[in-house]
C-alpha cells in the first residue's frame, strides 16, 4: 500500500513537471531587432548590427515564423534620417499595419517612435470611440497572430535615404511548439 502511494505521488509530481514544461514551451517570448543605415548597408546584410545594416527602402525586415504573435513593433532612430521622408512598418497584407509613419514618426529627429498603442498601425492600435472612425466603438486589436509562415514584417519607405541610422524592434511570443 505504501509503495502504491509513493508511485501515485511520483506520478503526480511528474505530471506537474510535464505541465510546467509544456506551459513554458507554449508562450516563448521573442524580441527581434534589425538595424538600418545608409553607410555600410548591403542587400545581403541581415541587419544584426550597424556593422552590417540593411538598407532603407521597401525591404523585408523579418520573416515571420508560423505560430508568432506580434504584440509590439516600434522604431528607434539613432541618427536623424535625411532623404527618406517617411517609412511605415507592416506586413504582406498591410504596409502600415504595425507603424503608420504619418501618425507617429518624426524621421529627422532621433528618438523612439511607435511604442504608443494609440498611434500604432491598425494591427496594434488601441482607439477610443470615434477617434479615427466615427463608427468604431472601441478598437483593441493589440496583437496579430500568424498561423503559417510565408509573411514578412516589411518597411515601406518614401524617398531615398541619404544619411541616418534606425532600428526596428519586433516583440511578441510564439504560441505553440517551442521555436529554435
Output the CA torsion 63→59→167→66 (10° steps).
-10
Q: Which residue has the higher pLDDT, 114 or 128?
A: 114
Question: What φ, ψ does residue 25 adopt, rounded to 5°?
Answer: -75, -25
CA-based R_g, the chain, Å? 21
Worst-scoring range by mean pLDDT, 2-6, 98-102, 104-108? 2-6
Strands (E), the chain: 27-37, 59-64, 68-82, 86-90, 111-113, 144-146, 151-158, 163-175
Which of 53, 68, 61 is CA-nearest to residue 90?
61
Cα-Cα-Cα-Cα dihedral sign, residues 111, 90, 23, 178? negative
- Predicted local distance difference test score (pLDDT) of residue 26: 67
- Predicted local distance difference test score (pLDDT) of residue 8: 58
pLDDT at 51 over 70: yes
Name the fold adopted by 27-175: Jelly Rolls (2.60.120)
Q: Which residue has the higher pLDDT, 178 or 148?
A: 148
At 62-80, the pLDDT tens digits run: 999 999 999 889 999 999 9
Cα–Cα distance, 114 to 128 (Å, whole number): 17
- Predicted local distance difference test score (pLDDT) of residue 141: 58
Mapped to the 3 state alphabet, what secondary structure does 65-77 carry?
A: CCCEEEEEEEEEE
Alpha-helix residue ranges (DSSP H) falling in 50-180: 101-104
- Predicted local distance difference test score (pLDDT) of residue 128: 58
Across residues 22-50, what is the average pLDDT? 86
pLDDT at 7 over 50: no
pLDDT at 124 over 50: yes
Summary mean pLDDT of the chain: 80
Q: Where are the domains of the chain?
A: 27-175
Percent of the chain with pLDDT over 90: 43
Q: Is 43 helix (H, G, I), strand (E, B) or coil?
A: coil
Across residues 160-180, what is the average pLDDT? 85
- Contact call for residues 56 and 84 (beta carbons, < 8 A): yes
Cα–Cα distance, 42 to 54 (Å, whole number): 6
DSSP 53: P
What global pTM score does this model have?
Answer: 0.76
Q: Which residue has the higher pLDDT, 140 or 97?
A: 97
Which of 85, 59, 89 is CA-nearest to residue 74?
89
Amino acid at each position: 500500500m505504501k509503495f502504491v502511494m509513493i508511485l501515485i505521488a511520483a506520478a503526480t509530481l511528474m505530471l506537474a513537471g510535464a505541465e510546467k514544461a509544456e506551459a513554458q514551451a507554449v508562450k516563448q517570448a521573442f524580441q527581434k531587432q534589425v538595424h538600418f543605415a545608409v553607410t555600410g548597408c548591403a542587400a545581403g546584410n541581415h541587419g544584426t548590427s550597424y556593422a552590417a545594416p540593411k538598407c532603407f527602402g521597401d525591404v523585408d525586415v523579418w520573416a515571420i515564423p508560423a505560430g508568432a504573435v506580434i504584440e509590439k513593433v516600434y522604431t528607434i532612430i539613432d541618427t536623424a534620417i535625411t532623404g527618406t521622408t517617411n517609412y511605415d512598418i507592416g506586413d504582406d497584407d498591410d504596409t502600415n499595419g504595425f507603424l503608420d509613419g504619418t501618425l507617429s514618426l518624426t524621421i529627422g529627429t532621433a528618438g523612439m517612435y511607435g511604442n504608443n498603442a494609440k498611434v500604432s498601425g491598425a494591427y496594434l492600435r488601441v482607439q477610443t470611440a470615434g477617434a479615427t472612425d466615427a463608427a468604431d466603438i472601441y478598437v483593441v486589436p493589440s496583437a496579430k497572430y500568424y498561423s503559417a509562415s510565408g509573411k514578412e514584417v516589411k518597411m515601406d519607405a518614401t524617398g531615398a535615404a541619404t544619411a541616418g541610422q534606425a532600428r526596428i524592434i519586433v516583440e511578441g511570443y510564439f504560441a505553440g511548439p517551442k521555436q529554435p
